[in-house]
Structure 1
């Protein structure tokens, strides 16, 4: 019999997080207590925010259901390792749809992982090689988690940085947000030495260190970190105006395009139009548009239309075995 109430509640919660319905009598036997105690413990879990549903019947049953908020989860060793490995693999490469929330989750999980499990995660990570395409830049998950923790804790951050021209420098910053463009991670931060806002490509960052020195967050010049990054990228590189019409509804196209291209504009007849100022490789963008799976027409720039044509010819030759 488990006489320690907190320990018994954790054991009960672990059982209920298995996706099945537990008869009250079986829970009582597992915990070594009476059914009345099980009912009281279920009430305690409900008070803590766990949505435990009870069913009527001769024996009665309990199961954990979806609620309005996300309650804490109990994970066994294998589950914790699996989640950490998955998050580390995703965080190491800029994947569309994987944003700062994923990195924060990884930072929280690795903070509480026992050392033995941390070693298992590192061993699995070292033994696997992800297949990435194009110029997707690799980023050490530890770099992302250190920065995510510094952002959450409002701690000043130091790191080594190599610029695009190969110049090395040491930076001391007040980190603001991490932003994923779909292929790369960027840090938006206030650079203390330059007394101005800057963006940093994460694959060029090394030796990140949260100093422990706290700071009060400054107001970003633009409405969001993503918008600031977009404007910064436009200032640094030649951009062009993209106009494309898709033969598909706006909401369907939006689900298959990176967010930085903006929201598609609905058109009559179930079509939509995408307008954006971009600086991406045209060959890459041509392939990215084709991957939506919808028919589309490039109105501008003419160079992109030519890239799409060449891509179509290449794919046709591949399909015909020539």
Structure 2
């Protein structure tokens, strides 16, 4: 085996292990301990974070930030990865620290000159925008580490009722419309809840609490089943502009029916507990979407209109 091939295989092998000895590696490769020692020294000089452990039972270990082996990409794959990473720059905060920008810099640095040129010509011509939302990167990183370590997090959470301390077991993290969301089991409410990261004022690991195994098995694909909950139907009348606004909204689009004059209606089945959420969505569309039922939804809209009127009543 050529030395270059041996070094790559050695890098892959030690990345897969928490600890190892020179003799173990020598036996794996069928070469002398002296040769393995030289190889480890060379990998260390190349940036692989290997360090020796002295004393009985010693050997070698990798630092927590391990190095990945070289990977070959096609030009199309390189372009796709570059713009996927670059799209993250439009988020105000990320749960990866400086990892995303550092990886993008390294990746671009080692691309062939002609591929760099092609990507440079596409800069500022291809982008995946995300609305800017202010939130704490430290909190996002804490949530990410809790997911990886299957840990409990104590958060200070701001809601309409004020700030409360909650102990949560995060299931995942996802971004939508610039916001980061964290579905998690809430030990206070004893049920799954959805938390917005920008409403978290603090987040620290809580090693005193045990995580629940049933929650550990859940992922973002395990959406809460609401068909067993009390159901209602949101009845809507839509102007032509209202149809245009809701036609790309996954919650409403399947239920829109168009009239010949360009207006339309929608009968949207929802869980009764989500009615407030839907009222807030419709409120933002003003006169282009009118709620016909249920009566409690109409009442909520009227109450919001009254509050808005009172706010401006004394304005001159």
Q: Same fold (TM over 0.5)?
A: no
Please indicate the TM-score interval, normalised by the length of the shorter structure: 0.3 to 0.5
